[in-house]
Amino acid sequence: MAKTENTVSMEKIVSLAKRRGFVFQSSEIYGGFNGFWDYGPYGVRMKRAIEQLWWREMVETRDNVEGLDSTIICHPQVWKASGHLDQFSDEMCDCRDCKSRHRVDMMEDTKVCSDCGGGNLTEPREFNLMMKTFVGPVADEENTAYLRAETCQPIFVDFHNVRVATRQKLPFGIAQIGKAFRNEINPRNFTFRSR
């Protein structure tokens, strides 16, 4: 987009959203945490209003859509079966000079750093986007779990239970609202690509 006098920068939007109490940077008093955002008093009001409207229109007023509120952590096999464990990754490379990190598929030229213009980049590496955690007292491979990378995966896993419990006939829908977690390499554009 061509910049004109009226072009509003992302910095201005972020600053306005903060001043007006819509969105704050997470952990700001400790210098912030890159890619994480908190909804302030007016932000949460707006977010709830949109969610409630969506839920009413999409779920409650329709006979062929059911609601669900699943856990944030699922059995690791869910993510193995869905392919996320093996496939949900981006190729990335680092700039050895300015330490910036780049998604290979977003780079105009994979030999040149878009931040500093240097050519001292590492070889591309696969970077899984799921947030890893440990369930139980021991932090080892056997207890590794993942925060859900999508809100839809638990819907697929609970499909049979929902269908039997509600006696829905195919085709029908299952709806869910909630947080999903992606360990974005390069969070940017405010809340549009957050972690």
Q: Which residues contact Zn ion (rule: CB under 5 A)? A: 95, 97-98, 113, 115-116, 118
- Give Cα 104 to chain centroid, integer Å: 19
Q: Which is nearer to Zn ion, 32 or 119 (CB)?
A: 119
Minimal distance, residue 127 CB to Zn ion, in Å = 18
How far apart (Å, rounded) are the C-alpha atoms in residues 75 and 144?
A: 10
Minimal distance, residue 100 CB to Zn ion, in Å = 5
Minimal distance, residue 101 CB to Zn ion, in Å = 10
Question: Which stretches within the chain are classed as H helix?
Answer: 10-19, 41-55, 76-81, 84-87, 153-157, 159-166
Q: Which is nearer to Zn ion, 60 or 115 (CB)?
A: 115
Q: Which is nearer to Zn ion, 93 or 95 (CB)?
A: 95
**Among 146, 12, 4, which residue's Cα sits nearest to residue 82?**
146
Minimal distance, residue 184 CB to Zn ion, in Å = 19
Q: Which is nearer to Zn ion, 78 or 95 (CB)?
A: 95
Q: Which is nearer to Zn ion, 100 or 168 (CB)?
A: 100
136: left (phi over 0), alpha (psi -120 to 50) or beta: left
- Give Cα 35 to chain centroid, integer Å: 10
Q: Answer for the pair 195, 183: CB distance below 8 angstroms, yes or no.
A: yes
Minimal distance, residue 40 CB to Zn ion, in Å = 34
**Among 26, 24, 22, 25, which residue's Cα sits nearest to residue 45?**
22
